[in-house]
A and B are shown apart, each in its own frame.
Chain A
Amino acid sequence: MAVLKMQRICICALKKDRKHILELLQRCGVIELNDVLQEDGVFRKTDVFAAVNGFEKNIALGKSALEILEVYSKEEKSKLSVLNGREEVPAQEYDEFQIRHDEMVHASKHVYDLEKKIAEGKAEILKQKTQIEVLSPWVTLDIPLLFKGTKETAAFIGVLPGEWTLERIYGQLADLDPVNVDIISTSVEQTCIFVLCTKEKESSVSDELRAAGFSYPSIAGSKSPAEMIRDLENHMAVTEKSIQEAMDEIRKYAARREEFKFFTDYETMRLEKYGVLSGLLQSNSVFVLTGYIPQEEAEGLAEKLNERFTLHIEFEDPDEEEDVPVKLKNNGFSAPLIGTVESFSLPGKNEVDPTMVMSLFYYVLFGLMLSDAGYGLIMTAGCGWALIRYKDRLEDSMRNALKMFLFCGISTVFWGVMFGSYFGDLVDIVSETFFGQKVTIPALWFLPINEPMRMLVFSMALGCIHLLTGLGMKLYQCYKQKDFKGMLYDVIFWDLLLISCILMLLSMEVFVNTVNLSFILPSSVSRVAGVVALISAAGITATNGRESKNPFKRFLKGLYALYGITGYLSDVISYSRLLALGLATGVICSVINKMAAMTAGIPLGAVVFTVIVVAGHALNIAINALGAYVHATRLQYVEFFGKFYEGGGRKFNPFGVHTKYYKFKETMKNG
């Protein structure tokens, strides 16, 4: 349980080793770089814009190639693939990839071009299909659509809107004999016609036809329509074949999917490396690198670097005012909750790492809210199985999540046994419905549904412990910061006030009767507690406004701080959610079990019973685990952290490998 101590690191090395040093640092992933040094006459920064641009382009290419491969040949993934982390790749393989790099750029481009070809081909086919559609009414015409007539005759090939009969067209052209009209095809929308007349009547026929709404077809060609359709169809077949070929070719690349992934990762790593490179100060033959490193990694890294390269490393402690990044380290029990602390805020300057204490309460509170031995067992078994089965493959984040739910599950089993809940009252129901004899597993402690008041008191008592622990953390923090005034004024006074208030409550007959306690404190305790409470209240009033100089203002501020006692009241009441959520789990369990038991009489009752029980409890476990998770987090963030923790630290963000498909890691001592 600690915030790792950071050191400033400064490496000065030869430029010829630059690539290898950077790659080693990247794989170690223990240094956060910050370029504090200024450029001068000798040391300059390099411009890496062109290179970075190239990497970004290649990453985009690789990604689109992978997406295209996914479209034409789906990658088979098992349901549990999320548990299968990234594969680890040795440094050697990374170095060897360099030779194949250009080929992969080419291959990615090729896949991209093939996809483009397919898209274009598809557009082409669509166009040709429309043309065929336009031509199809003309298919019986055996001369080209462009035919304008012979030496003595003029021809009109085109369409009239609507449905026309031969007589009607002849009627339209009655005065213009000799004329020949053929109807090629007719439909409700249009009538395709071929009109032949003598040359001298051409313009009058044209006028008459136009009056009737005649227009030339939207498509023209020097071949007959039937021939044109045949040509188009041939063309379509060719295009379709080339599409098919392109698809096949893409599918061939599917076997090399892993290489594309590797390529994308390779370029992602180089991009990050060049981002760092742009911040390096370089002279003609050396470069300087500065940053932060956790102290415990410092020695190992120095050893590793000195072993392989000629260079100079310096470590020094950061100054007081420096904005040092924060990294938390915890043992296996608490480590899963680092993420939860991080998502609130990392500890600021001089703050302690709350993870260890928080994790303990977190597991307890979660278990209390879910509080069913059966559910806990399912969680524990599921997470435990995944942790063992995928021991070496799990990603860190997934492993932490699983571990967290494993511990939550264990705590749930514990509370479930205490409160006698095994899938609710499933044991009772099954034994009564199917075996005719009711068997009950008795609660080790008590049944909350029968004694809600007792459970409520227990919840609030646990809340008091949680809150007092929070104040204890504040005490420790003040001690560490050597703020001894704060220890007395902000913590001890409050502690005394709260504890004496609780003691006074416990000696009041009304209170003890309401909550059914079996004991009552003697009135002498109450009298002493009353005096202590008064003194501490006076102390709080006198001191909690101490940052104001004006005595009147200071008194008012102190009074206002004392008013904060209502905050403690609401904090304690807030823990009643332990009772509410615990009961919610139990009652829904019994609703499900009761519903299932109703089916016992019907034929195939046992099967229906099982289906209802399995589906119902699966739903219940999901809903209530979610509730327990949310509210356990809330109790930590609002009630617990509110007492001592402010946060505001900046996360340690090391120069490392942030790839999607493969792991490239140099094993560090603690890595």
Chain B
Amino acid sequence: MSVVLKLSLISQIFYTEQMQKIRIIALENKKYGIIAELHKMGVLDIRKSSLQLNDDKALPNIQIISEELIKIRSALTFLDKPKNIVEINKMEHKSLEEVLNLSNNTKPLVNRIFSLVESKRSFLEENNEINNNLKNISLFIGTGINLKKIKSESLEFFAIIVNNKKNLRILHALKSASVNYENIIKKINKNTTLFFIIFDKRDKQKIENIINNYADERIELNDKLFDDYPENIIKKLNIRKVEIKKQVNKINNELQDISKKEYHHIAAILEMIEIEYERSKIPENFKKTEKTFIIEGWVPIKKVNKLMSVLENLTNGDYYFEEIKTNELAPTLLNRPSIFKPFDYLMGFYSLPRSDEIDPTWIFIFSFMIFYGLMISDIGYGILSLIIALLIMKKVSKEGLVYNVSKIWALSSIPVIIFGLLSNQVFGYSLSILNSIQIINWNRNIPSIIVFTVLVGVFYVILGQILSFFNKYKHHEKKLAVSKLISIVTIITGTVAIAGFLFHSFSIALSETSAITALITFEITAILSGKEASELTNLISHPLSFTRILGFGLASIIIASLIDKAFTPTLSSFSIVNVLIFIVLLIILLILHILNVIVGMFEGIVQGARLNLVEFFSKFYIGNGIKFKPYSEKRQYTYAQKYNKNKARVKK
């Protein structure tokens, strides 16, 4: 029994959630109830059935729901989410009828929102038009032009802006054209002049030709607006602008008031409508017969019984449940404690594990934290990186790259502190009280550390080959599986030979025997590997790649020591200048250490992930798993009506 338990535990750690493909057949009149309950449970990844039957359709009320959805969703976009609300009074999601009733009751409010938004849009449009008119009319200040007085049946006018260099030419052209005109000229700036030309309508064509030749810009004047002297019009327009501003402010205030009072209520209704919409649409993935419908999908094996119990209760036993035997690849569901979820995010850099292969995430988590800790290994830096990570986590949203990476930094600061203790490093300093527990000396034990990192690399490459053996064996690639096992002999004997010849760690006889064995097993591995033989050179390069742990660790510690040497403040005597210098040096010291920590945090995460994903995973990992996407509802403002379990009975 205990062996079974242990195996089950190993399976839970090294394999993703076990999945079962199922088929449910039930009566048409139970469809909505079953859909709603599946939606609430969120355990079934619904897939289109391969049965040769007719496709089912969306529920008939989808049109009404869709219209309500668009209406409420667009109304909500015009409201601001209230800030500093600690508790939301959640609404109970009872039935579709009630949701539609609630939506209908909000009609006056929604219409009011739309009407306010429409008024605001119209005011803002008017304001833009006024701004354009103001820009044009301000050109005429001081000209004394009043279009109301000029306007007549026989006269017309043009206003143009011309480069100063063309002034004489345009005047000459007007004179030479023998037309009746009057013009008012106003210098706008150093380079341009405004020409306002009043002319007889009969000469319009001639004037227009001249203007087309010389005008740099033609000003379109709204003659309905231009019914007074420019100064008076500007005054009137500015008064109107103030009125518009007041109106817009009033509208904004009312919208803010609605947001404050009604945002959560409308958001709750929207949430319920969205859920109802998803429920109405999902049957498009079903198949149907005259009186029944068929659902197929993947469910975690441990949820099968619960699912059957719910179906039993809903249908009073009138349903058919089938566990489908298939070679199809099951979706991947990673089921880890939430504290380690960010590592799944980092794993996503590579790809999701397939459901039928070893899930190496736990090894990844363990080794990543060790590599990260070794690369920074400083108690002070560990504490500082923890503070930085927690500060970032407080500032950013809980979803996304930055939050997840910060959580990894926060967790990984623990090994940084542990390795800091073991290497006696506090902001680049060594403390005498920690001498007794110091086992790593980065400055003096470089040869030992380089050998240690290579051995870590050898260990990971061997572990990768072992996991690859299991993967290949499981996928019935026995020849390749054997080659993986033989390659382990190559790695071990090769390492002994190199250590013996280069560092004289072993006797000549053992070194020579190991070298010969390594060469023979390498040949056998190459023959058995077939196409994968080209990757065998990685068996040598990948362990060496682990020396980067020493490289980055050493760099971080040397930089910390240099910062200390250059900027550690000392206070020889208490004078104002000395105290000021002390404070400034202390600030510089702190800033430089923070920068070194930030560089270390980025390098640590990139190199730690890289050693796992490139050097380790490439040995065995297949990846490209299909993510388990259960049909589930997401609620923030509402809660689902409680499901009555009293009648639940299990029958298979």
Partners in one complex: no
Q: Which residues does B use to contact A, with CB under 8 Å?
A: none
Chain A residues with CB under 8 Å of chain B are none
